[in-house]
Chain A
Amino acid sequence: MSVKPGGPHPYPGKLILVEGIDGSGKSTQLSLLRKWLESQDYNIFYTEWNSSELVKETTRRGKKTKVLTPLTFSLLHATDFANRLYHQILPPLKAGMIVLADRYMYTAFARDAVRGMSPTWLRNLYSFAVKPDLAFYFRVPIEVSVSRLLSGTRAELKYYEAGMDLNLSTNLVDSFKIFQSRALAEYDKLVDEFNLTVIDATQEIDEQQAQVREIVSEVLASYKPKRGTHARRQALFWRKFALPEPERP
Chain B
Amino acid sequence: MPDDKRYFGESLPYLSLSGLKGKLIAIEGPDGVGRSTHIEALQEWLEVQGYGVMTTGWTRSALMSKTIEIAKQGNILDAWSYSLLYATDFADRLEHQIIPALRSGFVVLADRYIYTALARNVVRGCDRQWIRQVFGFAVVPDLVYYLRIDVETLALRVIESKGMNYWESGMDMRLGADLYDSFKKYQGMVIEEFDRMAEEFAFQVVDARRPPEEIQEALRARILPILRDRGRRRVERPKLAEKAATPPDVAGSAGAT
Contact = CB atoms under 8 A, between A and B. Distances in A.
A75 interface: yes
A189 interface: no
Given A71-B91, A86-B81, A124 B133 contact: yes
A216 interface: no
Interface stretch (A77-85, A194-202, A219-227, A229-237): A77-85
Interface stretch (B10-18, B111-119, B140-148, B216-224): B10-18
Interface residues of B, number: 33
B12 A116 contact: yes
A28 interface: no
B40 interface: no
Interface stretch (A14-22, A54-62, A132-140): A54-62
Interface residues of A, number: 32
Contacts of A69: 14-15, 91, 95
Contact of A83 (B9, B10, B81, B134): B81
B64 interface: yes
B78 A87 contact: yes
Nearest to B11: A118
A57 B64 CA distance: 11
Contact of A82 (B14, B62, B67, B81): B81
Contacts of A62: 63
B67 A128 contact: no
Given A79-B85, A121-B10, A124-B130, A72 B95 contact: yes
Given A78-B84, A86-B80, 16 more contacts: A54-B85, A58-B64, A58-B66, A67-B96, A69-B14, A70-B12, A71-B95, A72-B88, A75-B88, A75-B91, A79-B81, A82-B81, A82-B84, A87-B78, A121-B134, A124-B130
